[in-house]
Amino acid sequence: MNLKKYSEKRKKGKTPEPFAESSKGEEVFVVQKHSASHLHFDFRLAYKEQEGWVLKSWAVPKEPPQKSGIRRLAVQTEDHPYTYKDFEGEITQGEYGAGKVEIWDKGGYKVKEWNDNLIDVDLKGKKLKGMYVLIKPKGNFAKNNWLFFKKK
């Protein structure tokens, strides 16, 4: 499990964020509203790697779309520990990501397709329901930029 980048940005004991890794898990997603230096939403999909479960993560600058026709930028960030799916709290001032984190939506999901450039999933949350896509555009975009939208 590659949580090295996550651990490098945080100081265990100085922040309430979870550091625990998990070998057991299930396909869940969470959207966390994060009032850091700029308000944004962290979209996370639980993903099973060989060593265990992690949360693949994207920062979405605007509220995630609840209906089709709206596209949002989603900037891929470092993987987070699976246990982060339940995290709500205040990250200490002066620490990376300082500010309030609250769960905006969460639920299960089913994968239709998942590869390096496309993630197509059926979300089963309270706010995000239905088929959603993360697509990595080709061309002169930053390597971590994706588009996030709800399919019709």
Q: How far apart are CA 134 and CA 114, in angstroms?
A: 9
Q: How far apart are CA 56 and CA 111, in angstroms?
A: 14
- The predicted-structure confidence for 10-45, as pLDDT tens digits, reads as follows 878 788 888 877 888 999 999 999 999 999 999 999
- The predicted-structure confidence for 89-148, as pLDDT tens digits, reads as follows 999 898 889 999 999 999 999 999 999 999 999 999 999 999 999 999 987 777 899 999
- pTM of the predicted structure, to 2 decimals: 0.92
6, 94, 107, 139, 150 from 56: Cα distances, Å: 11, 25, 15, 23, 18
What residue type is assigned to position 7 of the chain? S
Q: Which residues pair with 131 in a beta bridge?
A: 122
Please provide residue 67's backbone torsions phi and psi, each rounded to the nearest 5 degrees: -140, 160
- Does residue 19 sit in helix, strand or coil? coil
